């Protein structure tokens, strides 16, 4: 009896993760609100986590490397959100907007 996860083909996980990742990319590129961009980034991170977990389950089920990575990613994502939201908050306070098109100080 193979593990439950393996009853579903790997391709399905990969497809899910790819769709999720593409949605994230699309969001990052098209959204103008910094908070929404941040959410899209989260989507991409989650897509990566799914990949990690799926590969781990198929390639070396006896080890938990993929799952550990996924936990790391979640942790880092949390920290990142904390940091990013703080920055966005400061930007909003200072510039009166969270529209990234209007925040273009980061140049010559």
Partner 1 sequence: MNMTDAWLLPLLPAAAFVALTLLGPWLPRKGDWLAVGAIATVFVMVLLIAADFTDALAAHGEEFAGAANSTQWLEVPGQLELRLGVHVDATTIVMLTVVSFVALMVQVYSLGYMKGDSRYGWYYAVISLFVASMLALVLADNFLLLYFAWELVGVCSYLLIGHYNHLRSAAEAAKKAFITTRLGDVGLLIAIILLWRATGTFNIQEVIAAAEAGEVGREVLTASVVLLFLGAMGKSAQFPFHVWLPDAMEGPTPVSALIHAATMVVAGVYLVTRTLPLFQLVHGGPELILAVGLLTTFMSATMGLVMTDIKKVIAYSTINSLGLMFVALGVGAPAAAMLYLFTHAFFKALLFLGAGSVIHATERQDVSSLGGLWSKMPITCVTFAVGALSMAGLPILAGFWAKDEILVALLDNKAAFALAMATVPLTAMYMARVLILTFFGDPKEPESHEHAHEGSPFIFVPLVLLAVLTVFAGFVAFDQVGELMGFPGGIGEIIFLGHPHAFHFDWNVAIGSSALVLAGLAAGWFAWAARPSVPGVCLSMLRPVHALFANKYYLDDIYQAAIDRVVLSIARLVAWFDRNAVNDTGIDGGGYTAKFAGYLMKFQQTGKMPNYALGMVIGVVALTLVAFTLKG
φ and ψ of 21, to 5 deg: -65, -45
Among 5, 10, 25, 81, binds partner 1 (CB under 8 A): 25
Across the strands, what pairs with 33? 99
- Which residue, 14 or 25, is less far from partner 1 as judged by CB? 25
Minimum CB separation from partner 1 for residue 78, in Å?
22
Closest distance to partner 1 from the beta carbon of 14 (Å): 15
Q: Is 28 in the site for partner 1 (CB under 8 A)?
A: yes
Which residues, in sequence order, are CB contacts of 104 under 8 Å at separation 6+?
Answer: none
> Which region, judged by CB under 8 A, interacts with partner 1, from 4-12, 67-75, 79-87, 97-105?
97-105
Task: Give the 3-state secondary structure of residue 33.
Answer: strand
Residues present in the chain in total? 108
The CB density around residue 88, as the number of other CB atoms within 10 Å, is 18
Site for partner 1 in 32-51 (CB under 8 A): 32, 37
Q: Does 100 bind partner 1 (CB under 8 A)?
A: yes
Query: Half-sphere exposure of 100 toward its Cβ, with a 13 Å CA cutoff?
Result: 14
Residues in contact with partner 1 by CB under 8 A are 25, 28-30, 32, 37, 100-101, 103-108
């Amino acid at each position: 009896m193979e593990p439950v996860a393996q009853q579903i083909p790997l391709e399905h996980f990969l497809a899910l993760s790819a769709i999720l990742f593409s949605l994230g990319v699309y969001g990052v590129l098209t959204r103008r609100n910094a908070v929404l961009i941040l959410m899209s980034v989260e989507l991409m991170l989650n897509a990566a986590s799914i990949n990690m977990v799926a590969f781990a389950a198929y390639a070396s089920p006896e080890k938990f490397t993929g799952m550990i990575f996924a936990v790391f990613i979640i942790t880092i994502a949390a920290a990142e959100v904390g940091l990013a939201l703080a920055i966005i908050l400061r930007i909003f306070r200072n510039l009166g907007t969270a529209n990234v098109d209007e925040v273009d100080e980061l140049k010559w």
